[in-house]
Structure 1
């Protein structure tokens, strides 16, 4: 059995930013094979274009943990809906399923098959903040929880990493991941 983890950066992000490399190192030390794809078109191009690129290049199965931040978390909702079977765990950090602000959100689908998302998410963990500068807040997390189940962890820590919020480590995630 090869345990895999895929860490998906947020809108305008990069796999070498904020806590992504730190988490990758932590998970690698625990025996995971870690993938941090660079998706420059994330939330720029339509989700229907981004989704196949992520799905076709990776094995996503019961030994896989998915971690997404912001727009990456939104992308993972579409990933979960389109899988043929469940992953071990999905951790959505500052995730959202509806427009969190006035910006265009091409990473979002018009709607979601929440039964499929729930069935494929494995142990679903949502991490949102009371206040988030982009609107990816606890209300967004609660909306996903109400539709897909799982566990909602609410902190008061902004966007959990951003241009003006250095966030080199994220020990909570290391504890939450199976």
Structure 2
């Protein structure tokens, strides 16, 4: 039984930003097959045309763990809605399901099939900060939690990594993932 993890960067990010490579190494050391794809189109290309590419590039099964940061976490909502299996875990870090600020958010769908999303993930975590500079805050996490259940974790830790916030490790994530 090969466990696999797919870690999605956020808007304008890449596989080498903040804690993503660190988490990838930690999970690989624990026996996971790890993918940290580079998707420059995340939150740039409309989700309707971007999502099929993402779904076609990865295999999802009951041993899959999904982790997304910011725009990558918002992407996970669409992924979970449109896959046809139940993955093991999904962790949305600084995630959101509605526009968190005044910027364009092409990664968001106009609406979500919340029961379908919930049916496609066994364990679901939302990690948000009360002090997120982009509005991907605890209120966004709470809105998703109220639709989907799972576990909401609220911290005071900015955006959990950004151009001006070094965040090379994220011990909590390592502990949360089975």
Coarse TM-score class (shorter-chain normalised): over 0.9
Runs (4 or more) in structure 1 with deviation over 4 Å come to none
TM-score by length of 1: 0.99
TM-superposed deviation, 1:52: 1.1
Aligned to 1:65: 65
Q: Residues 120-139 of structure 1 correspond to what in structure 2 (within 5 A)?
A: 120-139=120-139
Structure 2's unaligned 5+ residue stretches are none
Residues 1:23 and 2:58 aligned together: no
Give the corresponding residue for 2:105. Answer: 105
Give, in whole Å, the separation in 2 of the partners of 1:134 and 1:122.
29
Distance 1:3 1:50 in 2: 25
Structure 2 partner of 1:171: 171
Structure 2 length-normalised TM? 0.99
Aligned Cα RMSD in Å?
0.5
Aligned to 2:8: 8
Size of the alignment, in residue pairs?
178
Indicate yes or no: 2:160 matched with 1:160.
Answer: yes
Distance in 2 (CA, whole Å) between partners of 1:112 and 1:72 is 16
1:156 and 1:135 map into 2 onto residues whose CA distance is 13
> Which residue in the other structure is 1:118 paired with?
118
